[in-house]
């Protein structure tokens, strides 16, 4: 099934250029455009999309308002802010945006976004490359995904702790299942019902608690148990 894409921007030249770049990568895609917020709201009420490119300023509405509605109506759709204003990046991640690209559009960035979203349509969750937004203590912390060593439940049932190679731990209200969906395509594996680890940061695996196994990751002395039903798949992923 062709990807359905909406391009929402009040600047006609930007719409034309972006649509041209989209069709050069995905010529079979169904692309629909809106030139202001009112038109965008009409599109969202009538149709469903796999991917939405939304400008921050739409003349009559803020793009963040349109994006928030899109997230409610189409939770599986990828939302990408396409704008000239870099200062809205944090707001974009607060809205769980897939990505944030700046004008003038770089064809390689557009290609990257489209390929990620196309992969997401075929089972791999679409994720922003290299960045992870953690909503911690009323702040949105933007972490480099490469610096995240593991994510674990916080033990209270209210959310997770995101651990980094530097030893920091950031609380977040998202569930571990949400983190698994966001990170599994970026080299993370759920070793236990309460823990998700970055495979490339595993330091050692060892026997633990009788017939079970556990592991440690770089930058931490924490012992992370491996569920018995996860050992075989972990060995396969690590080729051991």
Q: Quick check: is 13 in a domain?
A: yes
DSSP characters over 74-99:
-TTSEEEEEES-GGGHHHHHHTT-SE
Mean pLDDT within 4-20? 96
Q: How far apart are CA 196 and CA 205, in angstroms?
A: 15
Q: Quick check: is 158 in a domain?
A: yes
| Shared domain check, 153 and 54 | no
Residue 191 confidence class, pLDDT cut points 50, 70, 90: very high
At which of 71, 100, 121 does a domain end?
A: 121
| Shared domain check, 150 and 102 | no
Q: Quick check: is 126 in a domain?
A: no
CATH number for the domain that contains residue 94:
3.40.50.2300
Q: How far apart are CA 217 and CA 199, in angstroms?
A: 9
Q: Which of 28-37, 130-139, 145-154 has the lowest mean pLDDT?
A: 130-139
Q: Quick check: is 111 in a domain?
A: yes
At which of 96, 121, 146 does a domain end?
A: 121
Residue 91 confidence class, pLDDT cut points 50, 70, 90: low
pLDDT tens per residue, range 99-110: 788 888 888 888
| Shared domain check, 30 and 111 | yes
CB 142 within 8 A of CB 88: no
What range does the domain containing 33 cover?
4-121
Q: How far is CA 93 from the centre of its chain?
A: 9
Count up the domains in the chain and report the number: 2
Q: How far apart are CA 240 and CA 235, in angstroms?
A: 5
| Shared domain check, 117 and 171 | no
- In angstroms, the first-to-last Cα distance of the chain is 38
| Shared domain check, 94 and 33 | yes
| Shared domain check, 28 and 110 | yes
At which of 103, 121, 139 does a domain end?
A: 121
| Alpha-carbon radius of gyration of the chain | 20
Helix (H) or strand (E) holding 6: strand 4-8
Q: How far apart are CA 55 and CA 11, in angstroms?
A: 9
Please tell me what DSSP assigns to residue 111: H
Measure the CA angle with vertex 162, ends 50 and 178; round to 5°: 30
């Amino acid at each position: 099934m062709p990807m359905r894409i909406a391009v929402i921007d009040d600047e006609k030249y930007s719409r034309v250029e972006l649509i041209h770049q989209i069709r050069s990568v995905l010529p079979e895609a169904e692309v629909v455009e809106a030139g202001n917020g009112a038109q965008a709201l009409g599109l969202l009420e009538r149709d469903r999309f796999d991917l939405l490119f939304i400008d921050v300023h739409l003349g009559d509405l803020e793009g963040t308002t349109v994006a928030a509605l899109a997230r409610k109506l189409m939770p599986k759709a990828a939302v990408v802010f396409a704008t000239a204003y870099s200062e809205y990046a944090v707001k974009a991640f607060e809205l769980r945006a897939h990505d944030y690209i700046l004008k003038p559009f770089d064809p390689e960035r557009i290609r990257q976004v489209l390929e990620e979203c196309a992969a997401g349509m075929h089972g791999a969750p679409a994720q922003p490359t290299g960045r992870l937004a953690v909503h911690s203590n009323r702040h949105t912390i933007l972490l480099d995904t490469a610096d995240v060593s593991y994510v674990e439940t916080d033990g209270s049932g209210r959310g997770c702790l995101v651990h980094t190679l530097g030893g920091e731990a950031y609380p977040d209200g998202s569930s571990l299942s949400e983190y698994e969906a966001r990170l599994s395509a970026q080299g993370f594996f759920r070793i236990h019902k309460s823990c998700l680890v970055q495979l490339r940061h595993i330091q050692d695996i060892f026997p633990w608690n009788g017939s079970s196994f556990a592991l440690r990751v770089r930058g931490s002395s924490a012992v992370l148990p491996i569920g018995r039903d996860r050992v075989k798949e972990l060995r396969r992923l690590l080729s051991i």
